[in-house]
């Protein structure tokens, strides 16, 4: 916040607002085959219910009950495909209800994350770790990243307009040729702003002035 930055003159045209569609992630569960076997029976195969917006990702017909020391949440959707390690993505509201303290994490970063119990039709399992609050992020195809000069791992600002307008800081950019341009927020974040699936938000690649952001 030195004078240097504050007195840099910026051409408004250099501040690129990248329109990004929003996907609101409700609580959900990714499972390993080992845990599918325990919860649904040995060799059980998850059934695809419908494709999700990210290529190759899908919602399954199966749901589970998530149990914590202070509460229970039923009918939590399982997503496919299988993962090496089971992961339960919850909102802060969910964590209050369950009575757990899950950390804010990027997907897949599970070391030391919260314990939670999953109950299925055949069996149950208490995960020692695996429950997280997923950090908001933008899925970006390699071609989008090149177009906008962004790299995997960048953290940028995103503005959601409207009567409850907001600027999200520290939005992780994830780049892959398997991704489709989309920002994922959780239900708390979506409801704080009043966002619906498919709404457009605006990502800013900021170097220098960002007064454009908060006008």
Residues that bind a second copy (CB under 8 A): 1-3, 5-7, 9-12, 91-93, 96, 104, 135-136, 157, 163-170, 187-189, 191-194, 206, 209-215
Is there a contact between 147 and 110 (Cβ–Cβ < 8 Å)?
no
Cα–Cα distances (Å) from 202 to 118, 167, 193, in that order, read 37, 9, 14
Beta-bridge mates of residue 89: 28, 132
Minimum distance of a second copy from residue 95's CB (angstroms): 9
Beta-bridge mates of residue 63: 77
Task: Let me know the angle formed at the C-alpha of 110 by 33 and 194, rounded to the nearest 5 degrees.
Answer: 100
Residue 121 CB neighbours (<10 A) = 12
Shorter beta-carbon distance to a second copy: residue 13 or 177: 13
Task: Let me know the angle formed at the C-alpha of 41 by 101 and 44, rounded to the nearest 5 degrees.
Answer: 100
Shorter beta-carbon distance to a second copy: residue 82 or 192: 192
Shorter beta-carbon distance to a second copy: residue 82 or 206: 206
Minimum distance of a second copy from residue 163's CB (angstroms): 5
Shorter beta-carbon distance to a second copy: residue 17 or 82: 17
Phi first, then psi: give them for residue 111, nearest 5 degrees.
Answer: -60, 125
Written as one string, the DSSP assignment of 115-143 is EEEEE-SS-EEEEEEEEEEEPPEEEEEHH
Minimum distance of a second copy from residue 190's CB (angstroms): 8
Shorter beta-carbon distance to a second copy: residue 62 or 199: 199
């Amino acid at each position: 916040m030195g004078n240097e930055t504050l007195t840099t003159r910026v051409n408004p045209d250099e501040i690129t607002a990248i329109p990004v569609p929003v996907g609101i992630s409700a609580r959900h569960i990714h499972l390993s085959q080992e845990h599918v076997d325990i919860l649904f029976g040995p060799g059980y195969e998850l059934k695809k219910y419908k494709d999700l917006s990210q290529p190759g990702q899908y919602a399954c017909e199966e749901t589970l009950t998530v149990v914590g020391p202070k509460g229970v949440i039923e009918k939590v959707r399982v997503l496919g495909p299988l993962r090496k390690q089971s992961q339960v993505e919850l909102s802060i509201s969910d964590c209050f209800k369950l009575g757990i303290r899950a950390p804010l994490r990027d997907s897949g970063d599970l070391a030391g994350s919260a314990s939670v119990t999953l109950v299925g039709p055949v069996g149950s399992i208490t995960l020692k770790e695996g429950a997280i609050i997923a950090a908001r992020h933008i899925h970006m195809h390699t071609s989008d990243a090149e177009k906008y000069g962004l790299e995997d791992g960048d953290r940028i600002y995103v503005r959601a307009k409207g009567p409850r307008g907001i600027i999200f800081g520290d939005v992780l950019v994830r780049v892959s040729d398997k991704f489709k341009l989309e920002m994922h927020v959780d239900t708390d974040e979506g409801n704080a702003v009043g966002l619906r699936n498919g709404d457009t938000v605006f990502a800013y690649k900021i170097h220098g002035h960002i007064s454009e952001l908060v006008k």
